[in-house]
Each structure stands twice: as C-alpha cells, then as structure tokens.
Structure 1
C-alpha cells in the first residue's frame, strides 16, 4: 500500500531541491519515466519535462519554499493534497495550489494541478 503522505512530502522536496543533480535524482525516483504533468501554467511529459518545469518555477519564485499545509488524502492509486508557496516562516503564503496525483506502483505517473491563489 502506498504511503500517500510520504509521497506528497517527496513531491514537495522535488520542488524545493535547487541543486540540479540532486533534483534530477529525486525526480527519477519519484516519477515514472513517462509522467504527465499538467497545471494552468503548463503541461509537460517525462523526467526532462518535469525537471525543466520545476527549474522554471524555482527561477520565477526564487527563494520561496513549497510546503504541505494539511493532510494528504488518498485511495486506490490516487492522492490529493494542497500546497503553499512563500517565504520560510511566513504567516500567509504567496501562492496556494491543489494537486491530484495518479500513482503507478510507488511512483507518480500523472499530476493534475490547480492554482487557488497566485502572487499579485
């Protein structure tokens, strides 16, 4: 059985890993090779696509940290969780999102992301 909370924490870790080599290692361990990632800001496929997408988000939001603000909910081969993006220790996040992930074995095969709040 998949530990959905641990998987979501690894997902957040991937978005926070700024070392390109370490980030790629996390991506290859966390996602299937043919992963599909879709949110309002883009749609990518595969490890290279996810790596470039995360690098782009890090460039756009340099110095900000992704975090899990609440519980992770999952059943069968899907999970959902909210995330926050903001300065470490901030009272209010600059961005809030909600992701649904499909899981194949112990890896994420699909991400459907939604944005609830974006920085002005």
Structure 2
C-alpha cells in the first residue's frame, strides 16, 4: 500500500467513527491543523470544523458508512479518489470523487469534493 492510499484509508476511518473523542484523534492524525474541506453541501476548516462537519453527516445519515471505491490515484502531493455513502442495508445513496493536497508531514491539507450522486432533496 502506498502513502496516499494509507492516508485516504485513515481519512475514511475518521469519517466512519461515531465516537467523538476517537474521531477527533483520527482527524488529528490524518489532517493538518489548518486543513480545509469543501464540497457543494459541506465545508469545514481546521480540526474542529472538520469534526463538526462529520458529526453533522452522522446526524443526517445515522448508521451509514463511507467506503472508497477504486484505487487512490496520486502523484507528488496531489491525490484523487472516489467513494460511496452506504446505508445499513448496503445501498449507495451518495457517491462522489474527491481531490486532495497533502502537506509535507503526509497529512491532508485540503480536500475538494464533487458529488456524483445525491438523494432527492439533498
């Protein structure tokens, strides 16, 4: 496994963690302190902003999980990957593709998300 794939796997560990304290630890391990996330529906800056954003997704989609689809593609400090948000029964209700920049310490600096499929009314 390469460093970009390992980083994105840790990214999804944070997104899927429902315990707030553990999620904040995972965010700190995967994201730089001044990190920024943005997609058409969500935004968060810094560890606290990213934690609040993830918590809001858990509130809106309880018991759902994120999973990576396909391989992480990357070069230098840039990467891209695709994902799905899965219902407890295994149905993908949201799909997207994200692009990231990695800081010199190997943590995410920025992630920009694009939504490929969203539920009605999202």
Q: Shorter chain as normaliser: what TM range?
A: over 0.9
What is the TM-score when the length of structure 1 is the normalising length?
0.93
Any gaps of 5 or more consecutive residues in structure 2? none
Cα distance, 1:89 vs structure 2: 5.9
What is the TM-score when the length of structure 2 is the normalising length?
0.91
Counterpart position of 1:119: 119
Q: Which runs of 4+ in 1 moved over 3 A?
A: none
Counterpart position of 2:23: 23
How large is the Cα RMSD of the aligned pairs?
1.2
Q: How many residues are aligned here?
A: 118
Any gaps of 5 or more consecutive residues in structure 1? none
Supply the distance in 2 between the matched residues of 1:22 and 1:53 (Cα, whole angstroms): 15
Supply the distance in 2 between the matched residues of 1:8 and 1:94 (Cα, whole angstroms): 20
Supply the distance in 2 between the matched residues of 1:70 and 1:13 (Cα, whole angstroms): 16
Alignment of 1:28-107 (within 5 A): 28-88=28-88, 90=90, 92-104=91-103, 105-107=105-107
